[in-house]
Amino acid sequence: MNAATILKFTDVTKRYSKTVAVNNLSLEIKQGEKVALLGSNGAGKTSFLSMAAGLRKPSSGSIQILGSSVYNPQTKPLVTYLPQVLDFPSNITVNEIIDLVSTHYQTDYNFLNDLLEQLELKKLLKRKTSALSGGEKRKLGLVCTLLGRPQFAMLDEPTANIDVEGCVKIEEILKNYFNQNKTSLLFSSHQMQEVENLADKIVILKAGEIITQGPTSQIKKEFGLKKVSCYSTQNIKTTFAVSQTNNDNQYEFLCHNSDSLLKDIINKYDDVSDIDIKEPSLDEILIKLWSDK
Amino acid sequence: MLILKHAKWMILELLRAPAYVVSTIAFPALFYVIFAIPESKDMASSNLLLASFSCFSVFGVIFLQFGVGIAQERSKSWYTYLRTLPISPFKLTIARFISAMFFSLLAAMGIIILALCFTHAQLSFSEWIIFILLLHIAGLAFCFMGLALGYWTSEKTSLPIGNLIYLPLSFAGGLWKPPSILPEMLQEISKYLPTRYYGEVLWAFVAKQNIAQKDVMALTIYAIIFALIAYWGFKRDQSFRLS
């Protein structure tokens, strides 16, 4: 049986004066999918998310959420959005913010308690939001986004400003929540580790257009490049590399055929050592894709 | 329930800002002490000046502070976030309105307490209640005026534009000095100002005279005009945000 469509963008274009932020974009997110929206700054991620959240209207095309218009008030209790920047009113405590936001939803207080516990916000409940760190504010934003147990959540850089330990915890919370509830997630991120851990599908944007999309493993496979690293004190040059870097004699090559590249450099240079062949990271794939297309 | 919850945190947020609370009460109270108390020579003059400066204080809160608050709030990410919650913008505006009414009551109470302590102002208990109610009901026009200011100005322009409207309208409307002692040309203009109609309603009440229908009608017409301008501004703001 086909999973229900949660979000549907059909030929959506968004223009700001002469700038095209999103260009004729079509995309579907199915129930239970966790989709990462990737792109360099200005690629159109925030415009995409704010249109999906009903905060901006597309210049052309249509957007549907849960089978109805994105502006339908009836979908609002089921869909939540965490903007990239969320400054809470400064003289209000954490507890009061949570109390206010939870009034809008049928809040499961056991779930909320667990969430506060896991995000270590319980001890901060009486603190004014102005006294919170950037990371703590982000965690509070996440609590506000999840406490209503949404069917579909959109998170614009959910772990921005959060330390490494906090990021791991948030990834775990999000993964558990969206897996257990079979609900859908759309998020943007610049943290590729987070994307690999959380997303089962990636959408890569460049200049407002989708340049590729699919499961992480498929994108890596389609990308088809290998990463070869080695050590050499000589100035290595090879025609088999698509790109190469040299950091203190530690070379890294991206290539289509690692065997040919290795044969070439071993034949030409006599001090090549510490050879390693890996799949390139998502970061490397993205950098290559953005520079190519 | 939702509206009251939003009104509650809006009130709490401002109550916890001492600078806001003190200035809300102190600014009109200071004007009252300087301009009104020395002139409050008997019960009649005390009551009239009490009415004038109560109008001035309520006008200040529900037009200037309410309007500036909306304009500032519109530029904040929290306001954008609120628009994603299951609550209509209309309900949020009602919550803001309740918060403005709360602080205008606070400002008016400052004047009333000063009047009771230092002048011959006198009203019966029921008259005090009606006076406060009338002050706020007749002041509704300025609430819409505040909304219009909030939706038609930006975070940076709202305060100077608001002050450019608030102070001259208060003076020319006769809320600081009786209209009869204003310069002749201003006396003529004063007859058509919303602050003058507002004052006339409250002056008539404290002087135990009938409130003139024309003043009520004029205030109602002003309220409708300001409400339409505010609605137009709101729609314009929404379309900017959505565009």
Residues of A with CB under 8 A from a CB of B: 53-57, 73, 76-77, 79-81, 83, 85-92, 96, 99-101, 103-105, 128, 144
Query: What ipTM was estimated for this complex?
Result: 0.81
Which of B81, B87, B241, B242 is the mutation pick for testing A, counting most A CBs within 10 A? B81
Judge whether B34 is closer than 8 Å to chain A, CB to CB: no
Q: Which residue type sits at B229?
A: I
Indicate whether B232 pLDDT > 90. yes
Q: Which pLDDT score is estimated for B204? A: 95
Q: Look up residue A93 and give its DSSP letter.
A: B
Determine the Cα–Cα distance for residues A32 and B144; give it in Å rounded to an integer.
46
Determine the Cα–Cα distance for residues A219 and A291; give it in Å rounded to an integer.
16
Indicate whether A104 pLDDT > 70. yes
Minimum-distance CB partner of A101 among B16, B83, B85: B85
Nearest residue on chain B to A59, alpha-carbon basis = B243
Q: Per the structure block, which two tokens stand in for A170?
A: 């948030």
Residues of A with CB below 8 A from B2's CB?
103-104
CB-CB contact of B120 with B206 (8 Å):
no
Q: Which pLDDT score is estimated for A192? A: 83
Q: Are residues A187 and A253 in the same domain?
A: no
Alpha helical stretches, state H, B119-212: 125-138, 140-152, 158-172, 184-190, 194-206
A123: domain CATH number is 3.40.50.300
Cross-chain residue pair A100–B1, CB shorter than 8 Å? no
Cross-chain residue pair A104–B85, CB shorter than 8 Å? yes
Q: Are residues A36 and A10 in the same domain?
A: yes
Q: Are residues A211 and A257 in the same domain?
A: no
Cross-chain residue pair B86–A77, CB shorter than 8 Å? yes
CB atoms within 10 A of CB B156: 11
Q: Are residues A119 and A189 in the same domain?
A: yes
Q: Which pLDDT score is estimated for B37? A: 93
Instruction: Tell me the CA distances in angstroms from A246 to A125, A234, A284, one per residue in order.
Output: 50, 11, 15
Q: How many domains does chain A have?
A: 2
Cross-chain residue pair A55–B85, CB shorter than 8 Å? no
Cross-chain residue pair A55–B241, CB shorter than 8 Å? yes
Q: What is the CA radius of gyration of chain A?
A: 22
Judge whether B76 is closer than 8 Å to chain A, CB to CB: yes
Q: Which residue type sits at A46?
A: T
Q: Which pLDDT score is estimated for A9? A: 93
- For residue B82, which phi and psi values (nearest 5 degrees)? -60, -30
Judge whether B242 is closer than 8 Å to chain A, CB to CB: yes
Minimum-distance CB partner of A96 among B12, B86, B242: B12
Q: Which pLDDT score is estimated for B162? A: 92
Indicate whether A199 pLDDT > 60. yes
Instruction: Tell me the CA distances in angstroms from A255 to A229, A238, A267, one per residue in order.
Output: 11, 10, 17
Exposed/middle/buried for B209, CB within 10 Å: 0-12, 13-18, 19+?
Answer: exposed
Judge whether B80 is closer than 8 Å to chain A, CB to CB: yes
Q: How far is A154 from chain B (nearest CA, A)?
A: 11
Nearest residue on chain B to A72, alpha-carbon basis = B86
Minimum-distance CB partner of A87 among B12, B76, B87: B76
Which of A70, A103, A107, A138 is the mutation pick for testing B, counting most B CBs within 10 A? A103
Q: What is the mean pLDDT of chain A?
A: 88
Determine the Cα–Cα distance for residues A142 and A81; give it in Å rounded to an integer.
9
Judge whether B75 is closer than 8 Å to chain A, CB to CB: no
Q: What is the mean pLDDT of chain B?
A: 91
CB-CB contact of A251 with A230 (8 Å):
yes
Judge whether B17 is closer than 8 Å to chain A, CB to CB: yes
Minimum-distance CB partner of A55 among B5, B6, B83: B83
Q: What is the pLDDT of residues A65-79, one digit of tens each?
A: 998 988 888 888 899
Q: Which pLDDT score is estimated for B50? A: 95
Residue span of the structural domain in which A158 resides: 5-215
Determine the Cα–Cα distance for residues A43 and A204; give it in Å rounded to an integer.
9
Q: Which pLDDT score is estimated for A251? A: 93
Q: Are residues A30 and A127 in the same domain?
A: yes
Nearest residue on chain B to A84, alpha-carbon basis = B77
Q: Which pLDDT score is estimated for A1? A: 53
Q: Are residues A16 and A145 in the same domain?
A: yes
Judge whether B74 is closer than 8 Å to chain A, CB to CB: no
- Split at pLDDT 50, 70, 90, the class of B243 is low
Q: How many domains does chain B have?
A: 1
Of A47-56, B16-25, B94-103, the least confident: B16-25
Residues of B with CB below 8 A from A100's CB?
5-6, 9
Q: Are residues A196 and A66 in the same domain?
A: yes
Minimum-distance CB partner of A80 among B12, B77, B84: B84
Element (H, E) at B21: helix B18-31
Indicate whether B199 pLDDT > 70. yes
Minimum-distance CB partner of B84 among A53, A90, A96: A53
Cross-chain residue pair B86–A73, CB shorter than 8 Å? yes
CB-CB contact of B98 with B66 (8 Å):
no
Residue span of the structural domain in which B126 resides: 2-242
Q: Per the structure block, which two tokens stand in for A134?
A: 């950037």
Residues of B with CB below 8 A from A19's CB?
none
Q: What is the CA radius of gyration of chain B?
A: 18
Q: Cα angle vertex A8, ends B76, A39, to 5°?
A: 60
Under 8 Å CB-to-CB from B22, ≥6 apart: which residues? none
Q: What is the pLDDT of residues A180-193, one digit of tens each?
A: 888 899 999 888 88
Judge whether B83 is closer than 8 Å to chain A, CB to CB: yes
- Split at pLDDT 50, 70, 90, the class of B166 is very high
Q: What is the mean pLDDT of residues A250-265?
A: 88
Helix (H, G, I), strand (E, B) or coil at A205: strand
Which of A12, A87, A106, A156 is the mutation pick for testing B, counting most B CBs within 10 A? A87
Q: Are residues A32 and A129 in the same domain?
A: yes
Instruction: Tell me the CA distances in angstroms from B43 to A134, B56, B122, B128, B158, one per residue in order.
Output: 58, 20, 7, 15, 39
Determine the Cα–Cα distance for residues A171 and A182; give it in Å rounded to an integer.
16
Minimum-distance CB partner of B81 among A54, A86, A99: A86
Q: Are residues A118 and A162 in the same domain?
A: yes
Q: Per the structure block, which two tokens stand in for B115?
A: 């009047």
Q: What is the pLDDT of residues A153-173, one digit of tens each?
A: 999 988 887 888 888 888 888
Return the percentage of chain B with pLDDT > 70, whole number: 98
Nearest residue on chain A to B9, alpha-carbon basis = A92
Q: How far is A77 from chain B (nearest CA, A)?
A: 6
Q: Are residues A141 and A279 in the same domain?
A: no
Cβ–Cβ pairs < 8 A, chains A and B? 63
Q: Are residues A26 and A154 in the same domain?
A: yes
Return the percentage of chain A with pLDDT > 90, whole number: 39
Dihedral, CA of residue B61, residue B63, residue B67 and residue B68, to nearest 10? -60
